[in-house]
Amino acid sequence: MKEEKKFVRGNTLVKEEDGSKLKEKAILVALKEKRPRKISSSWTTEDSLEELANLTKTAGGKVVAKVVQTRAGVDSTFYVGKGKAAEIANLVKELGADVVIFDDDLAPSQQRNLEEIMEVKVLDRTQLILDIFAQRARSSEGKIQVELAQLTYLLPRLRGKGVILSRLGGGIGTRGPGETKLEVDRRRIKERIGRLKEKLKEIEQQRDILRRKRKRNSWPVVAIIGYTNAGKSTLLNALTNAQVKVDDKLFATLDPVTRKLTLPNQESILLTDTVGFINKLPHHLIAAFRATLREIEEADLLVNVLDASHSKLEEENRATYSVLKELKVDDKPVINVLNKIDLVKNGYRLSRLRRNLDADVAISALYGDGLDALLDKIAQVLEGERVLVELLLPYHKSDLLALIHREGKVLSKEYLENEVAVRARISPQLANKLIDYRKRNN
């Protein structure tokens, strides 16, 4: 019989057998209510549990069992009821599981009660997502946002003077940048949260300066958005040779990446890859990552990338638009793009998806198919968002000329005796503001 060795590497318990690393064994648990809640009603419990399994694999775990409990509603003490919790506890021992992960958020008291009865780590969906974020964060901003979200989530889960993180002290749900010892008190966490918020505020101010510089260059900002793992980074690489790391995992990109791109009409734009959305994305996570998601808020146009090969594409798209509504940017112009068409063999399905999702363009970012059509569409939409104006600006109104440079695109300038003749493309709002300076043809 092979000898199994156990040792601690960093903060993660690693099991090894003849040098081969074994993953943490996870049991997944979901609750199917007899009267389903309206939120995410288009997703079945099984669909959501399958996505939780993918998240677990992305975090480095191995799913050894899935448990679905059907009951009238959530149990306030054990979430799934005491009897089912005891049944899962037996399953933990039988399968040698290291962690039990629930598909919804748990109240602090529910989590403590479940850990006591199961005697292993108990995590919920938010903690799992945060663990993935902790692994993915590369920039200082990303790391600060992850730590802030983790500590904010941890604060109400303190018990006495200690912290319930893990009985093993490592693994899924316990990783994070800037992590200190487990026994940290509430006061120190609050102080740390305050310092992180200050750091984030400084970074946001720096980003605001960069955004103002972008506007002075009159370059429209186009944000690539969409469900996680839809192919957003692959698209950015294909269009700009950005060389962003691409991985077939959920949340492969956490930090936004921006590159300059020249459209077929020779107009320059800034193209930004953003963090992917997901079903049941908690409100407090959106709030914690407001600085990153600000790239979407500041964009002139959104390119919504959709995985045409995914069986739950339409549900994923609804989840994406739900987050856009949460961010209050659902009124921005959007181009829906069907990606991964190389994986769709059924032409009728592709036609139906294009029709149902109002997708103007179908592409394969991996193989470069349809990219020219996408660039043409981006140029067309941006052109349609601006109006062509001819203005006569008095010399003492140089601030207006600077405003046009900052917010629009100046096509030509001619310095006359008492004024400057300007031909430009600007937003309808700015055009209305400058209506008194419109050149009137005789």
pLDDT in tens, 36-94: 555 445 678 898 999 999 999 989 999 999 999 999 999 999 999 999 999 999 999 99
* Arithmetic mean of pLDDT, 8-37: 60
Q: Summarize the annotated binding site as residue ranges.
A: 226-233, 251-255, 273-276, 339-342, 364-366
CATH number corresponding to 25-123: 3.40.50.11060
Q: Which two tokens stand for residue 13?
A: 């318990």
CATH H superfamily, domain 219-383:
P-loop containing nucleotide triphosphate hydrolases (3.40.50.300)
pLDDT in tens, 309-350: 998 899 999 989 988 988 888 889 999 999 999 999 888 999
* DSSP β-bridge partners for residue 259: 271
Handedness of CA 161, 166, 170, 173 (dihedral sign): negative
Residue with tokens 């040779």: 241
Q: Taking a C-beta distance cutoff of 8 angstroms, is the pair 80, 104 a contact?
A: no
Q: Which two tokens stand for residue 197?
A: 């918020």
pLDDT over 90 percentage in the chain: 44
Q: Taking a C-beta distance cutoff of 8 angstroms, is the pair 85, 108 a contact?
A: no
- Smallest CA-to-CA distance from 354 within 345, 364, 342, 362 is with 362
**Sequence letter at residue 253:** T
- The pLDDT, as a whole number, for residue 7 is 29
- The pLDDT, as a whole number, for residue 20 is 38
> pTM of the prediction?
0.76
Q: Summarize the annotated binding site for Mg(2+) as residue ranges.
A: 233, 253
| Higher per-residue confidence, 184 vs 175 | 175
Distance CA 338, CA 335 (A): 10
- Cα angle 115, 116, 121 (rounded to 5 degrees) comes to 25
Q: Summarize the annotated binding site for GTP as residue ranges.
A: 226-233, 251-255, 273-276, 339-342, 364-366
Q: Is the pLDDT of residue 395 over 90?
A: yes
